[in-house]
């Protein structure tokens, strides 16, 4: 495990109220508590983090955070994507690294987050992400499940919504699914917001392609994760069932 005792690592959980597919998603009820509480509770168990904040943009989420003793940072409500929201938080809170954990993954495990952290905190530009092997054929063809193509060393070659690579020469592999844990240095966040969107990002609608298109290296690590992102109300129903099972097994 990496030794971060001399470094300040801040975890940030973006929680936008006005989701196009699922408005009010951070406050969706799961076993009697809002989804954002479950994510915050699990992220807070990671010992490497100096602090954990929810990046919010709405008074309704603020009220819940205050009621449930969840630390938050109020951000603008006009950010075009979550990385810009993380960057705003980085302007307010100084740290050596910022770890973004998606606010719609209430089943994420602390161990999974720890596995995604780099071995040491780099200086300068750095982006590190998480991925897992896909075992479900439905996931492979689902454009909402982002696929990561990496070299043997974990360097990212491409990120896409299409199943890639194409299995012409071999069927002996599994696709890699993006998992919602991202590690940024301040330089990486500043680079993102000051660099224009390019064609591949616009076509695929995947923020991280901005880094690749402008020649920046991204690195992904495999993590042990069965977490499900809640993109729709149907996803929420599945997560509720899994959460009930998880709570029973860990009594």
| 3-state SS record for 47-67 | CCCCEEEEEECCHHHHHHHHH
Q: Classify burial at 178, counting beta carbons within 10 Å of its beta carbon; exposed 0-12, middle 13-18, buried 19 or more.
A: buried
CB 208 within 8 A of CB 159: yes
Residues 142-166 have a mean pLDDT of: 94
Percentage above 70 pLDDT, the chain: 98
Distance CA 147, CA 144 (A): 9
Distance CA 98, CA 10 (A): 5
Judged by average pLDDT, the poorest of 41-45, 139-143, 245-249 is 245-249
Determine the Cα angle at 159 with ends 204 and 15, to 5°: 75
Side-chain half-sphere CA neighbours of 143 within 13 A: 4
Q: Which pLDDT tens digit goes with each residue over 117-140? A: 999 988 899 999 999 999 888 889
Q: Which pLDDT tens digit goes with each residue over 163-218? A: 999 999 999 999 999 999 999 999 999 999 999 999 999 999 999 999 999 999 99
What's domain 9-249's superfamily in CATH? Spore Coat Polysaccharide Biosynthesis Protein SpsA; Chain A (3.90.550.10)
- Whether the full predicted model's pTM is greater than 0.85, yes or no, is yes
pLDDT value at residue 61: 96
Distance CA 12, CA 119 (A): 20
Question: Domain coordinates of the chain in residue numbers?
Answer: 9-249
Distance CA 62, CA 64 (A): 5
Under the banding of pLDDT at 50, 70 and 90, the label for residue 141 is: very high
**CA distances to 168, 226, 244 from 34, in Å:** 45, 20, 14
pLDDT value at residue 233: 86
């Amino acid at each position: 495990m990496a030794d971060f005792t001399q470094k300040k690592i801040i975890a940030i959980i973006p929680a936008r109220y006005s989701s196009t597919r699922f408005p009010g998603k951070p406050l969706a009820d799961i076993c009697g508590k809002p989804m954002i509480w479950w994510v915050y509770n699990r992220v807070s168990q990671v010992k490497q983090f100096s602090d954990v904040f929810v990046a919010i943009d709405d008074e309704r989420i603020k009220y819940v955070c205050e009621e449930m003793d969840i630390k938050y940072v109020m951000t603008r409500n006009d950010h075009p994507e979550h990385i810009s929201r993380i960057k705003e938080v980085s302007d307010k809170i100084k740290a050596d690294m910022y770890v973004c954990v998606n606010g719609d993954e209430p089943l994420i495990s602390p161990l999974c987050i720890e596995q995604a952290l780099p071995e040491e905190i780099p200086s300068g530009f750095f982006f590190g992400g998480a991925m897992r092997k896909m075992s479900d054929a439905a996931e492979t063809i689902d454009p909402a499940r982002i696929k990561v193509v990496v070299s043997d060393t974990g360097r990212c070659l491409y990120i896409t919504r299409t199943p890639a690579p194409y299995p012409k020469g071999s069927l002996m592999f599994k696709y890699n699914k993006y998992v919602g844990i991202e590690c940024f240095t301040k330089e990486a966040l500043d680079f993102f917001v000051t660099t224009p969107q390019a064609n591949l990002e616009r076509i695929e609608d995947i923020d991280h392609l901005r880094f690749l298109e402008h020649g920046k290296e991204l690195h992904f690590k495999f993590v042990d994760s069965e977490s499900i992102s809640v993109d729709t109300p149907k996803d929420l129903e599945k997560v509720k069932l899994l959460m009930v099972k998880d709570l029973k097994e860990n009594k």
